[in-house]
Copies of this chain bind each other. A is one copy, B any other.
Amino acid sequence: MDTASRLREQHIETPSWAYGNSGTRFKVFAQQGVPRDPYEKLADAAQVHAFTGVAPTVALHIPWDKVDDYAHLAAHARDHGVAIGAINSNVFQDDDYKLGSVTHPDKAVRRKATDHLLECVEIMDATGSDTLKLWFSDGINYPGQDDLRARQDRLAESLKEVYDRLGDGQRFLLEYKLFEPAFYATDVPDWGTAYAHCLKLGPKAQVVVDTGHHAPGTNIEFIVAFLLREGKLGGFDFNSRFYADDDLMVGAADPFQLFRIMVEVIGGGGYGPHVAFMLDQCHNIEPKIPGQIRSVMNVQEATAKALLLDRHALATAQSEGDVLGANAVLMDAYNTDVRPMLASLRESMGLDPDPMGAYARSGYFEKICADRVGGAQAGWGA
């Protein structure tokens, strides 16, 4: 298939929570026009798809996106031209979870947390979602606070129960994160931990790579290549960071890294529906919808460059031990300006070649600012 066709079939999922307010522990700055319920979030997400053409699904976060009738919510999504994607569980914002959820020393808390995860599978059934994303904030702040190994036992027990509940065609993605909100030890701190758990559980358990969740200096594309080789890469939570889990727009901090990741994804057979491309970002100071549009475009540009890579020339230089030559082949792809190609692609899809401009001119933002007055804005914890 040619590059344009492959780009046309790209599928980047945006997260419902990116449309609500977010911030740091210091302050959440409220923005105008922010959605007040899951329905409005889906409407905003539909805008991103309308202008980019490659963002047809939206991830939900439970309980932030809890509704009485998920079939109704799914129909609402369809009416706006999008579909519901992954279901994200949340076992970190209830008072009971102060010392953990599925790894909590108290069995009753673990039961509650696992029940929430099982409820998320029910929502998958109701919405038709095939993917459950599991992120645990579980961990400890002080050495000695709890037993590292016992927490692994508890984690394994809960994961097993959830795994066994998954239906045909359903899977879960286990997310890892070095730190935050736990500040001494996190129960799933790295890909190795997530991988080991998933391997024991079976094929419906896979690892999701959040690009902001690593120790400084970690080579993320190596992890991507390794997990693809093992058949255990389930998807990405895309964002970017300079320091910790900054949750900036993907590609904003290190576009070359994003390109290298896409090179491994494509080279490793991960470019397709089995590896989910999801955004997971916090637009703390920039407007939400344009922030998502820009992020989708950043992923597209990195993908386009990676697709342009002359892999035959690369393999030849590599096999000859030509260090500079092989690096040059890679850099040639990276240094290419793919924006004209993507503009053409959009036109061929019946879209405006300039999604950011088109959205700005659409009047949508002015409309939601006018309409969405009163009510509580959605946000983390809301």
A137 to B24, CA, bound (A): 11
A184 within 8 A of B: yes
Across the interface, name the chain B residue whose C-beta is closest to A190.
B192
A347 within 8 A of B: no
Encode A233-248 as 1/0 by CB contact (under 8 A) with B: 0000000011110101
A329 within 8 A of B: yes
B144 touches A331 (CB 8 A): yes
Contacts of A253 in B (CB 8 A): 184
B226, B242, B317: which contacts A219 (Cβ < 8 A)?
Answer: B242
Encode A244-258 as 1/0 by CB contact (under 8 A) with B: 101011001111100
Encode A1-44 as 1/0 by CB contact (under 8 A) with B: 00000000000000000000011111101100000000000000
B192 touches A192 (CB 8 A): yes
B330 touches A381 (CB 8 A): no
A243 touches B244 (CB 8 A): yes
In the complex, what's the smallest C-beta–C-beta distance from A91 to chain B, in angstroms? 11
A286 touches B323 (CB 8 A): yes
A318 touches B146 (CB 8 A): yes
Across the interface, name the chain B residue whose C-beta is closest to A26.
B181
Query: Knowing A23-B25, A196-B195 touch, does A229 contact B149 (C-beta < 8 A)?
Result: yes
A93 touches B26 (CB 8 A): yes
Contacts of A339 in B (CB 8 A): 335
Most buried by B among A152, A327, A380: A327
B180 touches A27 (CB 8 A): no
A243 touches B179 (CB 8 A): yes
B285 touches A152 (CB 8 A): no
A106 within 8 A of B: yes
Across the interface, name the chain B residue whose C-beta is closest to A24.
B181
In the complex, what's the smallest C-beta–C-beta distance from A100 to chain B, in angstroms? 9
In the complex, what's the smallest C-beta–C-beta distance from A358 to chain B, in angstroms? 14
Q: Which 6 A-B pairs rank lowest in CB-CB distance, beginning with the nearest? A: A192-B192, A144-B330, A215-B215, A183-B246, A24-B181, A216-B216
- 10 CB < 8 A contacts A-B: A26-B180, A27-B137, A99-B321, A146-B326, A149-B228, A152-B225, A180-B244, A193-B226, A215-B218, A216-B216
Given A141-B248, A185-B222, A190-B192, 20 more pairs with CB closer than 8 A: A23-B25, A26-B93, A142-B286, A142-B324, A143-B260, A144-B314, A144-B317, A144-B327, A144-B328, A145-B326, A147-B267, A149-B267, A153-B229, A178-B243, A179-B243, A184-B219, A184-B253, A196-B226, A196-B230, A252-B327
